[in-house]
Chain A
Amino acid sequence: MSINRKQIVSAMSRIEVSGNADGLIPGFNVFVNMIPAKFWNSFAERLTRKVPPDMLEAAEFMLVNAAHECGYHTGYGIITSEEWKAVVEPMIEKVPEDVLYGAFAVFTAWGWAKSEIVELVPGERMVVRAYDYYESDVVTYGASTKPSAYLIRGVAAAFMDLAYGGKYDPTGKTGLRTHQCVQTKGIECGDEYGEFVVTRATT
């Protein structure tokens, strides 16, 4: 594999984002915000703990879906950006597999999760491990029975959509949601790392 993960993390972690005169941060074909991780964790955790048990699945689906759409559109913006072209593209030999490995290096560099692909069957299955991620901060003592890495689940599925789901569709009507992701381990659940398995969507 030609992707130099360490080099990508080092280079991409230094990229500065800052607001323009309007207090907005346009970049990667989206508007970006930079907010304490606590905000996202608070909402996800309070929502999933307060909904009635029979609504938990629906609430979690919507949280994952938010990340799935974000990962699809922003992910596309990232892999077509000038920053990607400068740092990652020169390393790419095999498409789309090297794009996937590079994408998870950027995912790490930008603080979403210290993560990497540990298994990849092109077009069929991807297993990602996350060794540190902000979503696990919802637990500071003990172990939860509820895996809570909704962002990683959504983005992992989205990256596979971009790799194997066909041409990028800005409307999201095709390509998006051709894959799904389940979380099989979680730091918040007492495991050593979070583990995420992505496969083709069944519905």
Chain B
Amino acid sequence: MTQYKRTELVLDKAFDAQSCRHEIAGNPVVLHCHHYTALYTQLALDCSMLDAKALLAECSEDTWEDFLSAYYRTHGISSIPERIALAEQTYAAAGLGRMRVTCAGPESGEVTLDHSHVDAGWFKKWGQHSTPVNFIGAGFIAGLFAAVFGRPVRTYVATETQGIVCGASCSRFTVIVR
């Protein structure tokens, strides 16, 4: 008989009444809206004196590599398919959208977003954009690959080749080791 195991994300949520902070899996978390996300993204696009797009992606990469790696350690998750499934669920639980890692290897990968907070928020606020804007998502994906394959941050770079915000039916990212 064949048995199938579906790994479900389990997030311990807590509110500290003294500090009035919310935590998920031991990480202080905060709610923000698409206006905030869109304006941070716009700031990254506009900031010409340094590569703020890469900066935004790196901050996302660092945050999520840390989160996912800690989750895998705590819950003893070692298989690649399980790690990927949990990362996809984490993306959705954070309200960032619906992600599918369509292929992944230690050198490269491909990821699709069927729905995206960053894109939907930008569109709701300003309409279409001529180029992809999901630097936060790109960072998440780079962090995901680092966590899944047990590599340090900045091992991978994810590039958005197609964006929902541009009018595409889904967003696509390619991932390659630097």
Instruction: Report A's interface with B, CB cutoff 8 A.
Output: 9, 13-14, 17-19, 21-25, 28, 30-40, 42-43, 46-47, 50-52, 55, 59, 62-63, 65-67, 69-70, 73-74, 108-114, 132, 134, 137
Known: A36-B67, A66-B36, A111-B21. A134 touches B28 (CB 8 A): yes
Chain B residues positioned under 8 Å from A25 (CB to CB): 95, 117
Give complex CA distance A30, B43 in Å: 20
Contact pick for B32, options A33, A63, A137, CB 8 Å: A33
Since A36-B67, A46-B58 are in contact, a sample of 4 more A-B pairs with Cβ atoms closer than 8 Å, ordered by chain A residue number, is A21-B98, A32-B32, A39-B59, A42-B62
Q: How large, as a class, is the contact surface on chain B?
A: 35 or more
Contact pick for B31, options A19, A63, A111, CB 8 Å: A111
Instruction: Report B's interface with A, CB cutoff 8 A.
Output: 15, 17, 19-22, 24, 27-37, 39-40, 43, 46-47, 49-50, 52, 55-56, 58-60, 62-63, 66-67, 91-99, 114-115, 117, 120-121, 124, 136
Give complex CA distance A18, B115 in Å: 15
Chain A residues positioned under 8 Å from B92 (CB to CB): 19, 23
Give complex CA distance A37, B21 in Å: 10
Query: Whole-angstrom distance from the CB of B39 to the nearest CB of chain A?
Result: 4
Chain A residues positioned under 8 Å from B59 (CB to CB): 39, 42-43, 46
Closest to B92 in A: A23
Give complex CA distance A86, B22 in Å: 22
Tell whether, in the assembled complex, residue A38 and residue B124 are in contact, meaning their CB atoms are under 8 Å apart. no
The 3 nearest A-B residue pairs measured at CB: A23-B92, A66-B39, A25-B95
Contact pick for B34, options A30, A39, A112, CB 8 Å: A30
Known: A13-B20, A19-B92, A132-B21. A33 touches B28 (CB 8 A): no
Tell whether, in the assembled complex, residue A24 and residue B97 are in contact, meaning their CB atoms are under 8 Å apart. yes
Give complex CA distance A109, B22 in Å: 9
